[in-house]
Amino acid sequence: MAFLHKLSKASSLASASLIRHLSNVPENTVYGGPKPQTPNQRVTLNQLRQKYNKGEPITMVTAYDYPSAVHLDTAGIDICLVGDSASMVVHGHDTTLPITLDEMLVHCRAVARGAKRPLLVGDLPFGTYETSTSQAVDTAVRILKEGGMDAIKLEGGSPSRITAAKAIVEAGIAVIGHVGLTPQAISVLGGFRPQGKNVASAVKVVETAMALQEAGCFSVVLECVPAPVAAAATSALQIPTIGIGAGPFCSGQVLVYHDLLGMLQHPHHAKVTPKFCKQFARVGDIINKALLEYKEEVTNGSFPGPSHTPYRMNPKDVNGFSKELQRLGLDDAASAANEAAIEPEKMNMVNTGSN
């Protein structure tokens, strides 16, 4: 019986571990009674709605891999967006258009493994939802089932995009809309240009946001629009707006992980880093400095030193190894092995003497 008890306990622990690693775990308010979520549990749409109703700003960061997702988790960010901007930031393209669904799914899975707390949202990449509502729903399903996301984001407010958003919501998948500057539409927009700068364009931004709300979106991203336009859209909607280059009057804000950390100093990234982005750190400078120091220490032979050469053979094994090498006719290799065994001891003696 004790064995069976231990087996049952181990099985329960394994199940709990599995649940923690699943993205789409809802609040259990039906089968177990209402349970308040702890900070370690996944952020839900209900929690975001509560923040919105209280007027508490929502934080979103765009990230593309496991390490950045872990950082977002630690910082307590509300939403992690796996954006198609990975095409530019990670893959080095000049636009978001080239990235494929399969590439996006790799990024989604990596983020899902690292971020256990934020609501996870995956972008539908260009060319994967425009043809029909069936294509849009199929792509959204893959983002959740294969990518481990909780929701999807799609760009634009044309009638076909509104129809696609509605179909995806009706399929049981949460959707964030995206209006203003929509990078997937640069062919029509004539490049990365702010929107809403004249009356007609400003009204279109607000009307499009309202249409996406009507389609069932739980939030709308407002990108690169003047602050009055963002304020008007936020006031007109009954769902949260997430601003990026849209001023302070939105329900929340989003920035790209690499941009806000100041990670990228290469000329390519200089031209794709937006004007509205505040660099909260200059991590790229620190990375460059560290790489230069690494190169210098490898070049001058100071790395790796004794403290970074931790694996030792005892003298008896070194001697036996040397003899085996000599037996194989590898006298130079035997000498090299003997010298390498003595060198760390010399270095330790030097370091001890200097102290």
What is the block-wise mean pLDDT of the chain (355 residues), using blocks of 10 residues?
48 42 50 48 94 98 97 97 94 91 98 96 95 97 97 92 96 96 62 78 95 98 95 98 96 95 69 76 92 96 92 94 96 95 62 48
pLDDT at 350: 44
Report whether 229 contacts 206 (CB < 8 A). Answer: yes
| Other CB atoms within 10 A of residue 140 CB | 29
At the fourth CATH level, the homologous superfamily of domain 45-284 is Phosphoenolpyruvate-binding domains (3.20.20.60)
In terms of Cβ atoms closer than 10 Å to its own Cβ (0-12, 13-18, 19+), residue 145 is exposed
Tokens of 130: 């425009």
pLDDT at 12: 47
Q: At what angle do helices 133-145 and 101-114 cross, to 10 degrees?
A: 30
Summarize pLDDT for 125-166 with one digit per residue, the tens.
999 999 999 999 999 999 999 999 999 999 988 899 999 999
**What residues are annotated to the active site?**
223
Residue 158: which of 175, 134, 127, 182 has the closest Cα?
A: 182
Phi, psi of 254, deg, nearest 5: -135, 140
Report whether 68 contacts 43 (CB < 8 A). Answer: no
pLDDT at 342: 86
pLDDT at 35: 45
pLDDT at 22: 44
Calculate the alpha carbon distances from 192 to 156, 182, 267 in Å.
14, 8, 18
Residue extents of the structural domains in the chain: 45-284, 305-341
pLDDT at 266: 58
